[in-house]
Chain A
Amino acid sequence: DAEITQSPRHKITETGRQVTLACHQTWNHNNMFWYRQDLGHGLRLIHYSYGVQDTNKGEVSDGYSVSRSNTEDLPLTLESAASSQTSVYFCASSLDLAKNIQYFGAGTRLSVL
């Protein structure tokens, strides 16, 4: 079955370190999204991509970057991790923007100490 997988599921890192979270989908969806979920804020968009070589900033993009070299993967990089980036991160993908039904991965819980 097609799916979307995130790795690692849990990560502990130190402030200042570079961290990359992986997202891989096998649906051949063009659109991919990264969100963070925090208590009291709900899901907030970090970055998104509409296809290979396309990336766009979302609502809370400062301190994060993404790159899209193929259809299946959209890795999220924290350039220099900060304690404020402790959160649960979700990746999602959608087939088309007209309906934009997004399917989510299981999430990565990141702790920055």
Chain B
Amino acid sequence: EDQVTQSPEALRLQEGESSSLNCSYTVSGLRGLFWYRQDPGKGPEFLFTLYSAGEEKEKERLKATLTKKESFLHITAPKPEDSATYLCAANQAGTALIFGKGTTLSVSS
């Protein structure tokens, strides 16, 4: 069965405390691995797409990496404004996105 699993479900960090979020996937015909950010009461906001193992992308304090079985979202020196739910999704053969349940990140000052 095709699925995407994210861990941990929730993560609390102090401002400046770096960490990583994990996304493991078992999806046939993977055409891309997506990361989205979702703030309360809003729709998911696109962050990154990764297409091949070894690929990395960065945006401000966020860096996404991809292996053949997992993707990681590394957060370096987070700030309170980085608090959100981060969603991982796999693009299966160019049709639907299969989403994980998300990791809710809370960063306190």
Contacts and interface: CB of A to CB of B under 8 A. Distances in A.
Nearest to B42: A106
Interface of A: 33, 35, 40-45, 48, 58-59, 90, 92, 97-107
A25 to B, nearest CB: 12
Contacts of A99: 32, 49
Contacts, number: 55
B24 interface: no
Interface string B88-102: 010100111101111
Contacts of B49: 99, 101
Interface string B60-98: 000000000000000000000000000101010011110
Interface of B: 31-32, 34, 36, 41-46, 49, 87, 89, 91, 94-97, 99-102
Given A100-B32, A100-B91, A33 B96 contact: yes
Contact of B102 (A33, A42, A97, A102): A42
A83 B91 CA distance: 31
Nearest to A94: B97
B101 A40 contact: yes
B96 A58 contact: yes
Contact of A48 (B89, B91, B96): B96
